[in-house]
Amino acid sequence: MEELRDKDLINSIVTNFIGGITVLEIDSVTRSIRPVYLNEGFYRMMGGSHAQTDALMHDIRLSVIPEDLPLLEQGIDDILDDNGSAECEFRIVDQDGGLMWLKLRGNLYTRTGSKNLVSAVILDCTEQKTIEEELKRQSDYMHLLMDTDITFDFNCRTDVCIYRFSEVDSLSHDSVVKGYLEQIPSSGIHKDDLEQYMNMLENAMHHARRDSMEFRSLGIIDAGDDYRWYKVDIVSILGHEGYVSHIIGHIMDIHEQKLKELELRLRADRDSLTGLMNKEATRSLIEKALEQYKGGSLTGALFMIDTDNFKNINDSYGHMAGDRVLATIGEILTNNFKGMDITGRIGGDEFMVFMNNIRSEEDAAALAKKLQRMLAEAFSGEAIGKDVSISIGIAVCPKHGLSFEELYQKADKALYFIKNNGKSGVKIYDE
């Protein structure tokens, strides 16, 4: 009689335990995970009807969000290894469409072929995980505020941004900006960086995320007339409702570092012999320059320049003489094209120039002939002079195209018309 009462007590405890006491059938081949027993406390923990919970748990793997499946799979493998109890944490989509964190701890009970029975406890650990995530966000927030030049806290609801400036050997001070989003366009950020900066903030306002970018601005710490380079790191902070309430930012002055980086990049983009841009940099700059010609009234000209008889020059006078010819062409191009014009060496003896905002095709042709005369004068009176000349093909934008490929192709055709008809000439593309 006493033994029966003990069984009734145990059954009552198991039934009413607030959490899942369960027996799972796990198929080693299909990897399905099906409960064969769930206590009453599990149904209460899940908050739905028996039918809803049974449908949700019919195969637990199907309810787990995809990115957490590897966590569940690893936990199941640990249990089936039969080295004692093992546990794992994963998220499922509950009956209301929300996410719920579950912790499963179990051990192998019996195994028959591919069928494994596992006794397990399943607990709702959503609140615990939420607290852990909030503590991590707070830790990230505090880390972001330590030892920084400038920090800001943007309140997404009130549209107020508080800047904190750390001053050397003195107390920090705050600056409050109301109507922050409206004031960003006039805040001094360079126009070429403004759209990216606004997009970064817009994305951070709608999703919890980290982001960073480099941008130019008129002095943030000290107002000035010259742009300086800064780097900003931001992190979104979620409020209790799960929506982004604040964006915390950290701004560093990276001006000197950026100038060194740009100088190194510029050196990498330049041809060491002539000082002109290399092929990749030349193309990139021309493609960017062509954007202003779409739908506008400007006219530009692409020059393809080829050094005539260059192999013969190298064979007859030596490679040092050949290098001198190329360097002289580079110097002539540098001296005759200024400002927004783009000059590059795109091959061994080939050069390219994009002349921005010309008045007419005739002006482009006249300048091309001037280049030929200057090269001839540079080597006049020397034996090599009779062999040094250049051929120039020209395509006009937008008349002959608006893309780099179109202009390159047509200038190249004009160039080879010259090469096949006596060399040392200038030709503007025509049909």
142 in the same domain as 69? no
Lowest mean pLDDT among 219-233, 343-357, 411-425: 219-233
Range of the domain at 117: 19-124
220 in the same domain as 88? no
27 in the same domain as 71? yes
Domain holding 344: CATH number? 3.30.70.270
Choosing from 149, 271, 349, 412, the catalytic residue is 349
Note the Cα 319 to chain centre separation in Å: 44
347 in the same domain as 292? yes
241 in the same domain as 107? no
Answer whether residue 277 is part of any domain: yes
DSSP secondary structure code for residue 329 in this structure: H
Band the pLDDT of 378: cuts 50, 70, 90.
Answer: very high
Answer whether residue 400 is part of any domain: yes
Domain holding 162: CATH number? 3.30.450.20
Q: Which of these three, 215, 230, 258, is where a domain ends?
A: 258
What pLDDT score does 1 carry? Answer: 39
Contacts for 333-340 with beta carbons within 8 Å, 24 or more apart?
A: 333/274, 333/276, 333/305, 333/371, 334/275, 334/276, 336/367, 336/370, 336/371, 336/374, 340/289
What pLDDT score does 350 carry? Answer: 96
What pLDDT score does 254 carry? Answer: 85
Gyration radius of the chain's alpha carbons = 36
167 in the same domain as 105? no
Answer whether residue 7 is part of any domain: no
In the chain, the percentage of residues whose pLDDT exceeds 90 is 42
Q: Classify the C-alpha dihedral 375-376-380-386 as positive or negative.
A: positive
What pLDDT score does 300 carry? Answer: 94
354 in the same domain as 241? no
230 in the same domain as 141? yes
Band the pLDDT of 141: cuts 50, 70, 90.
Answer: low
Q: In DSSP terms, which residues pair with 224 in a beta bridge?
A: none
Q: Which of 211, 199, 263, 256 is nearest to 236 (CA)?
A: 211
Q: Which of these three, 258, 285, 313, is where a domain ends?
A: 258
What pLDDT score does 12 carry? Answer: 66
Note the Cα 16 to chain centre separation in Å: 53
280 in the same domain as 331? yes
**Any residues with CB less than 8 A from the CB of 226 and at least 6 apart, and which?**
218, 219
pLDDT for 17 beyond 80:
no
Beta-strand relationship, 244-253 and 150-155: antiparallel
Answer whether residue 336 is part of any domain: yes
Q: Are 411 and 429 in contact (CB under 8 A)?
A: yes
What pLDDT score does 170 carry? Answer: 46
What digits encode the pLDDT tens for the residues 69-123?
A: 899 899 989 989 888 888 899 988 877 777 888 999 999 999 999 999 999 998 8
What pLDDT score does 204 carry? Answer: 92
In the chain, the percentage of residues whose pLDDT exceeds 70 is 87
Give me the chain's average pLDDT, please: 85
Active site residue 349: yes
197 in the same domain as 83? no
Answer whether residue 248 is part of any domain: yes
Over residues 228-234, the mean pLDDT reads: 90
What would the two tokens of residue 343 be?
């000059």
Helix (H/G/I), strand (E/B), else coil: 106 = strand
Over residues 348-357, the mean pLDDT reads: 94
117 in the same domain as 143? no
Band the pLDDT of 3: cuts 50, 70, 90.
Answer: very low
Higher pLDDT, residue 170 or 302: 302
**What's the domain count of the chain?**
3
Q: Which of these three, 89, 124, 159, is where a domain ends?
A: 124
297 in the same domain as 344? yes
pLDDT for 167 beyond 60:
no
Answer whether residue 8 is part of any domain: no
Lowest mean pLDDT among 15-19, 157-161, 331-335: 15-19
CA dist., res. 99 & res. 57, Å (int): 15
Answer whether residue 254 is part of any domain: yes
Band the pLDDT of 310: cuts 50, 70, 90.
Answer: very high
Answer whether residue 210 is part of any domain: yes
